[in-house]
Structure 1
Amino acid sequence: MPVDGRDQFARIMEQLTEKLPDLADQLRQEVRQGRVASEQRLKQEGEYQARASRLAAADLPPLGKADIAVLPYTDDESVELVRTAVLTLAETMYASRKAALGLASERGMELTIEFGDPELEPVSSLDLEAETERAWAALEIVRELLSEGTTLPAGAIQ
């Protein structure tokens, strides 16, 4: 039985809310706001006539070439928005760590970064090599999941 976009979106957003709440909030807001479309795009998508009729019924001027309209995302577009956001997050996560590791290596700097003042609190540390490897692994998992065209299985976002 095929899964419709609305159910797929709801399942993915449930996982994101649990594991990455800030990203989930941003995506929900984007989906609520809708997508911007120009007059030409409205015509391509067959929405122009309906929009023109609503504007005329409200005694408003028609859309011009420079005007834009806001359309709701379809269920499939919402899912694609989430998929793109998760992939972009994973790519950025890896690229930033790789750049920091490269810069530290080139300059002969310590590859472990310590945070905090040892005199006031326990120091936290971050191993750039290990973090870069973890980010690469996460990116590969995201790419694999998206290439299979599957939804993110329970527990995949960690």
Structure 2
Amino acid sequence: MIRRTLIALALLAASALPTLAVNPDEVLSDPALEARARALSAQLRCMVCQNQSIDDSNAELAKDLRVLVRERITNGDSDQAVIDYVVSRYGEFVLLKPRFEAKTLILWGAPAALLLIGGAAMIVAARRRAGRVTGVALSDAETKRLASLLADRDRG
């Protein structure tokens, strides 16, 4: 009974692993080239699914792109040449991780800029609050008036 339960749990755990959409007919016979193809496919966005790499997508366009990547690799292209070729055909959006260039500077710099702006706003707010708390000392008349108000409160 325990053995069957363990087998069932192992099968359940194995089914939870992410499956890749690469078909057996797409796999290259050379393991090194296939590893390069998988690495490149993981960097390219499926234009149909848009939140998946072409390595994870079952869309026809993703399959075509996987085949294209493998063709370019078997023809002797470098990884960068394959990426440049795909970008030239489909645009920068095909890259899951955009390149660091002048036109993508705002994309890369915005999180850091927002963090700095938020930190500066918190510092300014803290200084203003501290300025209100440690304000000017009370005059003698104000001190007497406060004392009388507190005494009235305690009596009543």
The TM-score, its normalising length taken from structure 2, stands at 0.22
Q: Going by fraction, where is strand more abundant, 1 or 2?
A: 1
Q: Which has the higher contact order (CA 8 A, sep 6+)?
A: 1
Higher alpha-carbon Rg: 2
